[in-house]
């Protein structure tokens, strides 16, 4: 039954290649594909490849302490795990990849998740559960050796820095010259502080009350932002260009990372989780009710590499751009952290590992729908930077129309007025176009005339959990840095010693602050450079995780079962290496980092640049070269791990001695199989 | 009547799930566990437990992109 509906939906997508298709078909196809993947492929891997054994005691049962090791009901672990893996990534990636048309991104979100992402998450979750919940870095060290361990740690740190920078850039671009968005995002900070005090002092630990109260207050903040926008005295106070806003985000990141967690981070996270789940559910309902037509073509001419959002052909760049919705190495860090300490039975890993990732992919599909239901002309007008389309609105409209996606200045002005913004041209980063898409879905479904409120609700919703990531990411990167510096000078590792905390936080913030600053001064929007770099880093981490899994699975019988992780590993290696190669050696200035640096240096030398662009050109040139070297470093790291895995796998297959690994010996579970 | 009771049961289950999933009942669980498994150990106050729980939660990676 399910298979029939799924096949029908996929057929409809196949047949409608050259005419607008209804979004409901895409959603139906996705739901069916994920359910089938879960029911058959997921179950087969769990039973045969991983030999999931519900009679085997999990770390939560062995080490139960009522604090971090707590045997927990599987649906509750599912909720925890999904809340942890779902971030702003699956919303931004599909929006950017929509420049190729809806088809490449959608197919990758379907296939990548079922065959790659879900498998990775479930496998790492089980392997970590069998190793007392040890982290990815520890597993890399124990199973592959010191090279793998160092690679996993460095990769994690690098991803963290680039991720925070690119997400900070998304928020800055959404707040730029938008008094409504800026005041609303700002209002979430006092709300979070208030909830933090409430949850600690007034009613300790009453999380649901606190979240409800906070959600009501931030909604009030969205409405109050509208009043600010109308007020001639308040409006100028919140109307700022990108650079001062970036300064504020950087200062916020530093302060937030050194405050006690209960004051700002924890309450903000409760709020964002609450809003996230509510919005995702509302979006799904609204898409079903509204069943909008997809206006973007299945494929655009930009598959040839001339894309205006970012340069590069559909292969390999669609697979780099959409990381979090299909395969995300970052998930492996979550699946080997808190979650395995809550699993009460090995039988739950399929629901938690495979299931939560499938749901995350569904969120990415909805982001893709929200991006592609816009008129393509409008989509490109919002997402293309001034460096490509031109700074003046009429020039931008003319350029975009000349690509075959007609759009007029009047149309854009009317849309901006409707959304309560002064302009929607060149609002790069993905958040504004996603907000316009969500506002048009919610606006038609839940009340017309409220589009501007929905738009700013969507911006606030993205900003809240991006700022949570900025805060939490800076903190984790700081712990990693303190750990590293502590090896050089012992006192630096003390997490309660203020000089160590302040200086290491400042170092981390300076690292991502640099990339954020460059992104803001870049006339092409910055996201076009940072996002591919993030994608390459994230897929590289996924490849490291899959290497660890493959290295362990070759011990299984028969060894060919290791192909379930070796094949996605091979695909990611091909994709990441090709992308990195093109980013390094391509002579096309829109693709290659070094080519772009040469191109800009040439323009600067011949005096072709306007004075304001010439002023920032040296920094941009330096940054392009730095990004080129970083890419080379990531690719080198990846191949090092792969070579190490190959060496170990061959030794294992030949029966030669290898690292012993750290799997816990079997101990029977007190719980009856399937009971929890 | 029985339908109402069924509905009430479903609502109670949902509420219980929501409390457990959000960590709303974490303190009650901790008190129950400690008093049962380690009766000799002193029990933390609600605020001290909340502080410690947040510190532990946010010292590792538990939020993603």
Q: Three-class SS of residue A444? A: helix
Phi, psi of A56 (to 5 degrees): -90, 130
Prediction pTM value = 0.93
Residues 6+ apart with CB under 8 A from B48: none
User: pLDDT-derived band of residue A448, with 50, 70 and 90 as boundaries?
Assistant: low
Mutation for B interface: A79, A94, A167, A207, most B CBs within 10 A: A207
Burial of A656 (0-12, 13-18, 19+ CB in 10 A): exposed
Mean confidence (pLDDT) of chain B: 88
Q: Which residues of B touch A86 (CB under 8 A)?
A: 64
Confidence band of A493 (pLDDT split at 50, 70, 90): confident
Structure-block tokens of residue A141:
């060290």
For residue A626, the model assigns a pLDDT of 96
Please tell me the predicted confidence (pLDDT) of residue A337: 83
Q: Do B58 and A468 touch (CB under 8 A)?
A: no
The residue of chain B with its CA nearest to that of A274 is B22
Residue range A15-64, pLDDT digits in tens: 766 677 899 999 999 999 999 999 999 999 999 999 999 999 999 999 98
A456: contact with B, CB 8 A cutoff:
no
Q: Which of A542, A566, A544, A543 is CA-nearest to residue A554?
A: A566
What pLDDT shows up at residue A674?
44
Q: What is the pLDDT of residues A587-646, one digit of tens each?
A: 999 999 999 999 999 999 999 888 988 999 999 999 999 999 999 999 999 999 999 999
A530 chain-B contacts, CB cut-off 8 A: none
CB contact under 8 A, B22 and A270: yes
A476 with B34: Cβ contact below 8 A: no
- The answer to whether the Cβ–Cβ distance between A324 and B20 falls below 8 Å is no
Interface of A with B in 543-602 (CB under 8 A): none
Contact A76 B21 (CB under 8 A): yes
Give pLDDT, residue A672: 57
| pLDDT digit string, tens, across residues A173-205 | 999 999 999 999 999 999 999 999 999 999 999
Nearest CB to B21; choose among A80, A163, A167:
A80
Min Cα separation B42/chain A (Å): 14
pLDDT at A169: 95
Residue of chain B with shortest Cα separation from A495: B59
What does the pLDDT average to over A133-139?
91
Q: CB neighbours of A20 closer than 8 A, spacing ≥ 6?
A: A293, A294, A295
The fraction of chain A above a pLDDT of 90, given in percent, is 74
- List the single residue in B with minimal CA-CA distance to A339: B62
pLDDT higher than threshold 60 for residue A370: yes
Q: Is B53 helix (H, G, I), strand (E, B) or coil?
A: helix
In the predicted model, what is the mean pLDDT of chain A? 92
**pLDDT of A675:** 43
Quick one: tokens of A144? Answer: 């592959």
Per-residue pLDDT reduced to its tens digit, A376-390 = 999 999 999 888 888
Q: In angstroms, rounded to a whole number, what is the distance separating the alpha carbons of residues A59 and A67?
A: 13
């Amino acid at each position: 039954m399910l298979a029939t509906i799924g096949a029908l939906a996929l057929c409809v997508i196949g047949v409608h290649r050259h005419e607008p298709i209804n979004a409901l078909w895409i959603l139906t196809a996705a739901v069916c594909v994920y359910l089938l993947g879960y029911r058959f492929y997921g179950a087969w891997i769990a039973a045969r490849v991983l030999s999931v054994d519900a009679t085997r005691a999990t770390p939560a049962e062995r080490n139960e302490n009522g604090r971090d090791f707590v045997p927990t009901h599987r649906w509750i672990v599912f909720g925890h795990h999904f809340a942890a893996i779902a971030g702003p990534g699956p919303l931004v990636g599909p929006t950017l990849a929509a420049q190729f048309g809806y088809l490449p991104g959608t197919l990758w979100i379907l296939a990548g998740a079922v065959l790659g992402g879900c498998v990775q998450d479930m496998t790492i979750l089980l392997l970590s559960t069998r190793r007392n919940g040890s982290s990815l870095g520890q597993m890399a060290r124990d199973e592959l050796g010191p090279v793998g361990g160092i690679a996993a740690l460095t990769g994690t740190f690098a991803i963290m820095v680039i991720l925070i920078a690119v997400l900070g850039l998304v928020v800055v671009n959404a707040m730029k010259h938008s008094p409504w968005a800026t005041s609303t995002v700002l209002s979430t900070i006092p709300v979070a502080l208030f909830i933090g005090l409430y949850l600690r002092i007034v009613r300790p630990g009453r999380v649901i009350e606190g979240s409800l109260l906070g959600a009501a207050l931030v909604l009030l903040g969205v409405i109050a932002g509208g009043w600010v926008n109308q007020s001639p005295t308040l409006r100028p106070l919140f109307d700022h260009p990108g650079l001062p806003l970036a300064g504020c985000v950087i200062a916020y990141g530093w302060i937030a990372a050194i405050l006690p967690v209960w004051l700002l981070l924890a309450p903000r996270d409760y709020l964002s989780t609450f809003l996230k789940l509510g919005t995702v559910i509302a979006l799904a309902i609204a898409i079903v009710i509204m069943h909008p037509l997809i206006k973007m073509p299945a494929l655009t001419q930009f598959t040839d590499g001339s894309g205006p959002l970012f340069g590069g052909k559909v292969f390999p760049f669609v697979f780099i751009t959409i990381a979090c919705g299909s395969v995300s190495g970052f998930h492996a860090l979550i699946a080997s952290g808190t979650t395995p300490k809550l699993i009460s039975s090995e039988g739950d890993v399929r629901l938690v590992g495979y299931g939560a990732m499938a749901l995350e992919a569904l969120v990415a599909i909805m982001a893709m729908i929200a991006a592609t239901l816009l008129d393509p002309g409008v989509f490109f007008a919002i997402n293309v930077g001034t460096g490509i389309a031109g700074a003046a609105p009429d020039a931008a409209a003319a350029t975009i129309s000349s690509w075959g996606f007609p759009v007029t200045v009047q149309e854009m002005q009317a849309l901006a007025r409707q959304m309560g913004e002064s302009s929607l041209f060149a609002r790069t980063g993905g958040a504004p176009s996603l907000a316009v898409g969500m506002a048009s879905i919610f606006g038609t479904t839940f009340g017309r005339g409220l589009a501007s409120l929905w738009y700013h609700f969507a911006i606030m919703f993205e900003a809240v959990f991006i700022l949570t990531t900025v805060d939490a990411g800076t903190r984790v990167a700081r712990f990693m840095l303190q750990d590293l510096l502590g090896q050089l000078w012992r006192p630096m590792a003390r997490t309660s010693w203020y000089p160590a905390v302040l200086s290491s936080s400042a170092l981390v913030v300076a690292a991502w602050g640099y990339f954020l600053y460059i992104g803001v001064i870049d006339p092409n929007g910055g996201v076009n450079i940072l996002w591919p770099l993030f994608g390459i880093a994230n897929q590289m981490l996924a490849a490291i995780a899959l290497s660890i899994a493959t290295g362990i699975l070759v011990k299984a019988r028969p060894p060919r079962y290791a192909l379930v992780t070796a094949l996605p590993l091979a695909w990611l290696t091909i994709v990441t290496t090709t992308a990195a190669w093109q980013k390094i050696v391509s002579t096309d200035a829109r693709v290659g980092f070094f080519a772009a640096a040469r191109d800009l240096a040439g323009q600067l030398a011949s005096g072709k640049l306007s004075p304001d662009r010439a002023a920032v050109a040296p920094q941009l040139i330096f940054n392009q070269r730095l990004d080129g070297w970083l890419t080379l470093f990531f690719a080198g790291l990846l191949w090092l791990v792969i070579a190490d895995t190959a060496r170990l796998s061959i030794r294992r297959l030949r029966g030669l001695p290898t690292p012993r690994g750290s799997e816990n010996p079997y101990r029977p579970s007190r719980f009856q199989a399937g009971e929890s | 009547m029985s339908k109402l009771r069924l509905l009430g049961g479903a609502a109670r289950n949902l509420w219980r799930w929501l409390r457990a999933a959000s960590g709303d009942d974490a303190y009650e669980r901790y008190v129950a566990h400690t008093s049962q498994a380690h009766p000799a150990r002193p029990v933390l106050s609600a605020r001290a437990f909340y502080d410690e729980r947040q510190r532990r939660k946010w010292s590792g990676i538990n939020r993603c992109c």
